[in-house]
Amino acid sequence: QFSFQENGWGASLAERLARKCDVVNRGLSGYNTRWAKLILPRLISKSTGAESTVAVTIFFGANDSALKDLNPKQHVPLEEYAANLKSMIQYLKSVDITEDRIILITPPPLQESAWEKECLAKGDKLNRRNATTGEYAQACVQVARDCGTDVLDLWTLMQKNQDFSSYLSDGLHLSTKGNSFLAAQLWLCLEKKLSALPSLLPYWRDVDHTNPEASLL
């Protein structure tokens, strides 16, 4: 949901793809795969037009991996998380969005000390662990391998920079730098899918101003 805020990764992709295709945001803050699996047919249906869908990203895990005893509302067991991802992929295939157009994104790493401050401020205990999030990230990567989709392993990539805290605004959610990092990494996956897309309508300098119909109709 936050990907279309100022400096968000979705907004960055939309800007980059202006005049090529529309970037549609169907993110829902706080949701997990159990809920997403149920609502996916409402978000993407056969009538959406599979033939005009170039790519779909599925980005879950940060909420599913919440600790069961401290955050039972968002927590989804690891095995169910993997099954839910597979179910979403199968649904997309059923509406003719093939696996080569699907990109799974793992949850980013969790910076525990920063997120613990957020939890304590609300009177809660630390309700996530980076090691646990990593297990969900590994499961996401494995689902991609099993199903033949692309995957962006954000959890691993961000931790190649030893101090990954700058990628996160509060230990959990992406900062401006984290959004830029995700947009850049995702573009590496998307570029080969989108590089052949033609621009919609000619550049303004190429319009024949004496006879615009000839250029535009």
Q: Is the pTM of this model over 0.85?
A: yes
139 pLDDT higher than 80: yes
d(CA 173, CA 9): 12
Sign of the CA dihedral running 16, 18, 22, 25: positive
Taking only the tens place, the pLDDT of each residue in 74-86 is 999 999 999 999 9
Q: For the purposes of burial, counting CB atoms within 10 Å of the CB of 123, is it exposed (0-12), middle (13-18) or buried (19 or more)? A: exposed
Q: Which of 34-43, 83-92, 129-138, 197-206 has the lowest mean pLDDT?
A: 197-206
State the residue for tokens 């689902």: 143
Ramachandran angles phi, psi of 102, nearest 5°: -105, 135
Give backbone dihedrals phi and psi of 164, rounded to 5 degrees, phi first.
-90, 5
